[in-house]
Structure 1
Amino acid sequence: MFITRTIDHFLHLPVVDFSVDKPRRNGRGERIDLPEPGTVAWRLTVPYGSKSGFDAVWSAFLAAVDPATVRALLLGPWWIEEYVPVADALATIVADAGRFPALEGLVIADVSYEDCEISWLEMSDVTPALTAFPGLTDLVVRGGNGLMLAPVRHERLTHLRFETGGLPAEVVRAVAASELPALESLELWFGVDEYGGDATIDDVAPILTGTRLPALRHLGLENSEFQDEIAAAVAHAPVVAQLGTLSLAMGVLSDEGAAALLDGQPLTHLKSLDLHHHYLSEPMQERVRQALPGVDVDLSEAEEEDDGEWRYVAVSE
C-alpha cells in the first residue's frame, strides 16, 4: 500500500496549502485572499521544480499570516530537487516557535508517494518539535529513514503517531521512556527491517505496562512483521484495561497471534479492535467475531499467503 494522499483535515480544521510559487486561486483562476490564520491548518510546501527553498516559503508565510493565532502546521515537501534531511526545515520552524503561542498540531512530512515514497523520506531528530512547543497536543511524523527521538517530558501532548515503513528501535525506546501524562492516543507503524524497522517486542514492553501513560485510551501497534508477538504480549498487557480502542492492524497477524490474543485477558470492554490487513483464516475470523460480540472488529483486507511463507505489511517502501 502506498501513502496515496496528504492529510485534508487536521485538528478538525481544513488543510490549506501555502507555497511561494502557487498562490491561492478560485475556479476562475482569480487570486483569492488567505483565510483567517486560526481557521485552517497550514500545509507548507516547496513545489516540484521550485527555485525557492523552504526558508523562502517560511519567510513568505510569516509575512502573509499572523503566526500568533495559527493552530496547526503541516510540513509538506521541503526539498527543491534532491531529497535532503528534514533537519534544516524543522530547525527553521523551531527557531520561530515563540511566535506560535497557539500552535496545537504539527505534522512532519505530510508527503504522499507522488512526491516521495515513505521510506525514502530523509528524516532527522524530531525531539525539538516537542521541546520547542510546550502547547502541542498533536504530533504526527511520517517517514523513518534517519529518524531520531530522545526521551522527553511533555505535559500537553495527547496524540502521537509515527507512520513509517521502518521505525528505528531507538525511537520506540524513546517513546517508552518519555513522560507523557496527557497522552490519549499512541500509534506506531513498525515497518520492516529492510527500511530500518529494527524494533523488537522487548522495545515495546515498557509501553504495554502503561506506567508512563496514565491517560492512554487508544493504542496502535501496527504495520509489523512481528505482529503475532505483539498480539501475544498485548494479551497480558496491563495497559489494555485502560484502553477504549486497540489497533493491531496492517501487519502480518496470523491465526497464532489472534489465538493468543483471545486466550488472554478479556477484550470485551473495548469499543473497537482494528485488525485490518491480516492473515487470519476464515474460521479464526469467525472465532474473533464470536468472542467479541459487542466490539466493533475490523477484519477487512484479509490477505492470502503462499504456503505459509510469504507475508507482507501494509506499508514498507
Structure 2
Amino acid sequence: MPETRIISVDEEDMKTAVEEAVALLAQGEVVALPTETVYGLAADAFNADAVAKVFAAKERPAFDPLIVHISSFKELAEVAEVPEDISALVKSLAGAFWPGPLTIILPKTANVPDLVTSGLPTVAVRQSGNIIFRNVGKALGRPIAAPSANRFGRISPTSASAVMKELDGRIPLIIDGGACREGIESTIVTLEARGEQRPVIHILRAGPVTKEELQKFGKVVIEKKVSDRPDAPGQLASHYAPRTPLLMFDKPEDFRPEPGKKYGLLSYRGDPKAGYIDLHEWEIVEELSPGSGKLMEAALRLFHVMRVLDEEGLDAIVAEPVSETGLGVAIMDRLRRAAAPR
C-alpha cells in the first residue's frame, strides 16, 4: 500500500505545497486539495488516465459525473461552450458568485474527456474560492476535475484528517489547508433562457448559494429529481452517508427505539422544544449549532458532526430536522440523502 503524505499549509506560505501538488498532477497523479466547500480529490481534467485514478480511489461508479474547476473565468472557454441565449446570465452569475460555491452545467468542449462527464454532452463547472486550490490550478495551467475526497457515497470530508481516514494508502498526497469554511458542497444549477421573460435557474443540488440569492438573476426552481443514472453531479438518491444507519422522522413521536440498541442524536441546536432531546436516553448528542440555531454554523459543522457520530459504535443515528429556509434547504437535502435506503 503506498504511503499517503500530508503537507500542512497556510495562505501566507504555500509555495512548496503548491509545487508538490502540481508536480504530481502533471505526472497524472491525484491529490487531495482543500476547497471552501469540502476537500476535493483533484486530477488534471484533460487527462483521462488521471481522472480514472479519481474514480478508482473513491470507488466511484463511472456513471456519476465530476465537477471541473477552473482557475479564472477566461478558462471557462476551454471546458464549456456557453450558448448565446444564456451568455449574459452566465457572466452575471460568475461575477456574483465566482470564485465561490456555485456550479453551472453547460455544454462541454471536446477538450473534456467523456470519463469526466460520464459520457454526457454537458460539463459541471465552477471556480473555487479557496486560494490554495486556485493557485494549484493556475500553476498547473489546466482545469482540475475534483469530486469530494472520500469513498463513494460516504460522508464528505471537511478536514485533512477526514480525508486521511477515507483515502489513506489510496492517494499520494493531501494538502492540509485547515477546515473548509462552507462545509457542504456547491450549489449546482442549469440555466434556461425564456426569450423576453426572466430566465429560469434550476437548482439541481442545493448548497451554500441559496435560492434567495439566485432569485436576483432569474426565476428559481428547486428540482427534486434523483436518479440511479444522474445527468449531472449531485443527483443520486443515496449519498453523503455514514456507515451507521441514519434515521429521519416526520415528527419526533414516530421514533420507536428497539430494545438493546444504541442510538445517537444529531440535534440542530439542542433545544428540548424541538421534541428530540428528551425523547430518549441517547448514547451521545451532537449539536449542529449549539444553542443559537444558526444555519451557517449548522452547515459548516454538518459533515463533521455526522462523522463524530459515525465513529461512536451506534446502532443508528437519529437526525433532527432543520428549518428549510436559506441554507436549511441544503442541510436537509444532505440529511435526506444520508438517510435514503442503500
TM-score bracket, normalised by the shorter chain, equals 0.3 to 0.5
TM-score, structure 1 normalization: 0.34
Structure having greater relative contact order (Cα 8 Å, sep ≥ 6): 2
TM-score, structure 2 normalization: 0.32
